[in-house]
Amino acid sequence: MRMTVPTEVLREAIVDALVEFAPDGSRLMVLLGRLGLESPGEVFIEDGLFTYTRVRLDTVKTDQDLIAFAQRVVTQVGSDRVDEMLRTYGVRSAHGQFQQLIFAGLGPKPKIVMVDATQNIIKVTTHRHLWMIYDRPLLSSGLTVQALIDWWRTEHPDLTAGKDDVAVSRLLRLRMFQSLPKTSPPQRRFFSSYYARVDRLYPALGFEQPALLPEVHLHYDPYSQTDPTNDKDLERQRMDFLMLLPDGSRVVIEIDGAQHYSREERLAEGVRKIASPQLYGEMMAADRDLRLSGYELYRFGARELPPEQPDTVGAVVNEFFERLLPAAE
């Protein structure tokens, strides 16, 4: 069983790495400023390099912020010791370390540039304000509702000031709900039913249930998607829902309407939806790719979530999550 390194030990390892990299006062102050550490007023470089660095690092308060800072230290300074400690916290994906999630968009796709090609580090430069971008380290607990609330507070301090977790959770859910397509009422009902379940489990279990993230970018290919002369390089651009569980599982949930397996055709008697083997085959091929990449995939038919039967919708959603997340009960 993997043991997580205490954060106090990680802090000391970071201090050691920084002082080792910049062993004189002037270089150390420049380095700490470049890494974004605030300059304290109660301690000075003359008090000693380790003391000075330790106090500046104390401005990083939460465990997740400390882990994010440690990742910057490994990237910009280099430290095998800190890197090894980080491995006890992070959940690695099938292809490397978790970087970020781009989800719940309210408008055009974001413009993305690569700022470090050697480490696949990207930056959103346009339309960022229209998207939610979770870029904190992913801990062994997965991505919980509480972690999402804590992140949302940091992202929107003015909006969340003075509000408790329940109030912030409502604001957060409203923002995510707004991203759900109005053309897919079943998707909206699924989202609302899941968070109604979270509310029923609160406060006994707090907000430690996995967060249900809507409209998550899985692949990103803005070029072939907008050029009708080219074949699409990546068919499935976005997931309806994603959950990141404590055991490292990545769960994708899709809500299927008729558009997933049929096409509209104009006939003499009007427009009808005709079953499309091609669409169905493309969907199955994308599903296989997703599973082979390490994701778990679950599909719900839109008819399972009828608008005139809210109790039925709630029962279907609750039964699914009771079986998927038995430890939460």
Model confidence pLDDT, tens digit, residues 79-113: 888 888 887 775 344 445 567 899 999 988 888 88
Is 125 part of any domain?
no
Is 297 part of any domain?
yes
User: What pLDDT is stored for residue 93 in this prediction?
Assistant: 42
Q: What is the pTM of this model?
A: 0.69
On the 0-12 / 13-18 / 19+ scale of CB atoms within 10 A, 158 is: exposed
Is 70 part of any domain?
yes
Same domain, 82 and 173: no
305 Cβ partners below 8 Å, 6+ apart?
186, 189, 190, 255, 313, 316, 317
Is 98 part of any domain?
no
Same domain, 155 and 250: yes
Same domain, 299 and 150: yes
Is 113 part of any domain?
no
Q: Which domain holds residue 38?
A: 7-89
- pLDDT tens profile 235-249: 556 899 999 998 778
Q: Which residues of the chain have pLDDT under 50?
A: 1, 91-95, 232-234, 328-329
User: What pLDDT is stored for residue 235 in this prediction?
Assistant: 53
Same domain, 183 and 306: yes
Max intra-chain CA distance, the chain: 87
Is 132 part of any domain?
no
Same domain, 170 and 70: no
Same domain, 83 and 191: no
On the 0-12 / 13-18 / 19+ scale of CB atoms within 10 A, 197 is: buried
User: How many structural domains is the chain composed of?
Assistant: 2
User: What pLDDT is stored for residue 234 in this prediction?
Assistant: 47
Which among 89, 116, 151 is the end of a domain? 89
